[in-house]
């Protein structure tokens, strides 16, 4: 295939549509930008459908090697004109390579048998940067998955994908299930539900996060919704010693997750 130079090319149009949630739902895919991002897709065995690049990527450290690896892997690789690539990307400074990735549907019941199961449940966090950081943190902490309830940001939006720093393909993200159905499945698997809440009766560092556990993180503005709170077994709080009214949701998630990691390692 030659170099794609026209904005009317079907592949170019498709990438542009992936900037919207409607487009991502239509094609069942999202895109990841940058050399490191595409490398992580390969490392994680993600369902890469097509990689698009412009010749400028060959001038970046690791660019040519990545293209060779992709071709050896049998990945469909397409070259576009440099000026055209800039019109497809979501970043101010294009990184000259992006991958179209199939959105995978995960089934929660498939992972319930793991005795050390650790999940993060996200309830109503609308900022894609915050959500992406939570997904990245959950991946780093070795969590087994992130569950997103309705009202939470789209994990496959470009901003969220960038914020995950590659973890969007490194950890299962469960979407689309109702609150009731989700907790029915978790209850059937013997998973305890611990919600982070400012009015929790137990400080997080005294809580027991060992065994099958799901940690619920709500939005900074509204906290955990009433419909989700009713399923919590316990509520854990992070003490606020200073004058700040609240913690960033992603920071709170990290604090609690790594307490869980500490307990599981000692």
- Note the pLDDT tens digit of each residue in 192-251: 999 999 989 899 999 999 999 999 999 988 899 999 999 999 999 999 889 888 889 999
Name residues whose C-beta falls within 8 Å of residue 118's C-beta, 6 or more positions apart in sequence.
141, 142, 143, 144, 209, 213, 214, 215, 257, 260, 264
Domain covering 10-102, topology: 60s Ribosomal Protein L30; Chain: A; (3.30.1330)
pTM of the model: 0.94
What ranges do the domains of the chain cover?
10-102, 108-265
pLDDT digits (tens, 9 = 90+) for 20-38: 999 999 999 999 999 999 9
Place 82 in a pLDDT band, splitting at 50, 70 and 90.
confident
Q: Is residue 2 scored above 80 in pLDDT?
A: no
Task: Determine the average pLDDT of the residues in 139-151.
Answer: 97
pLDDT digits (tens, 9 = 90+) for 116-128: 999 999 999 999 9
CB atoms within 10 A of CB 3: 12
In this structure, what token pair is assigned to residue 91? 């970043």
Place 94 in a pLDDT band, splitting at 50, 70 and 90.
confident
- pLDDT for 1 equals 57
CA–CA dist 36, 95 (Å, integer): 10
Return phi, psi of residue 157, to 5°: -70, 150
- pLDDT for 93 equals 80
Considering the chain, what percentage of its residues have pLDDT values greater than 70? 100
DSSP 8-state code for residue 40: H
What pairs with residue 236 in β-bridges?
A: 196, 202
Q: Which CATH class is domain 108-265?
A: alpha beta
Average pLDDT, the chain: 94
Name residues whose C-beta falls within 8 Å of residue 137's C-beta, 6 or more positions apart in sequence.
250, 253, 254, 257
């Amino acid at each position: 295939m030659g170099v794609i130079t026209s904005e009317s090319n079907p592949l170019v149009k498709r990438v542009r549509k992936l900037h919207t949630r409607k487009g991502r739902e239509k094609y069942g895919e999202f895109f990841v930008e940058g050399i490191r991002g595409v490398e992580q897709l390969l490392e994680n065995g993600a369902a890469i459908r097509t990689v698009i690049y412009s010749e400028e990527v060959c001038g970046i450290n690791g660019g040519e090697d990545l293209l060779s690896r992709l071709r050896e892997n049998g990945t469909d690789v397409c070259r576009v004109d440099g000026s055209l690539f800039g019109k497809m990307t979501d970043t101010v400074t294009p990184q000259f390579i992006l991958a179209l990735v199939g959105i995978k549907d995960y089934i929660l019941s498939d992972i319930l048998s793991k005795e050390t199961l650790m999940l993060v449940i996200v309830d109503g966090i609308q900022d894609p940067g915050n959500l992406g950081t939570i997904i990245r943190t959950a991946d780093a902490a070795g969590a087994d998955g992130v569950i997103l309830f309705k009202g939470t940001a789209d994990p496959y939006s470009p901003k969220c994908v960038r914020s995950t720093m590659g973890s969007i393909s490194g950890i299962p993200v469960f979407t689309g299930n109702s609150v009731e159905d989700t907790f029915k499945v978790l209850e059937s698997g013997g998973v305890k539900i611990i919600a982070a809440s400012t009015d929790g009766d137990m400080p997080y560092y005294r809580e027991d996060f060992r065994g099958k556990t799901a940690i619920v993180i709500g939005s900074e503005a509204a906290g955990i919704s009433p419909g989700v709170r009713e399923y919590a077994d316990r509520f854990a709080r992070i003490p606020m010693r200073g004058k700040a009214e609240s913690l960033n949701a992603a920071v709170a998630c990290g604090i609690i997750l790594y307490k869980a990691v500490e307990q599981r390692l000692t």
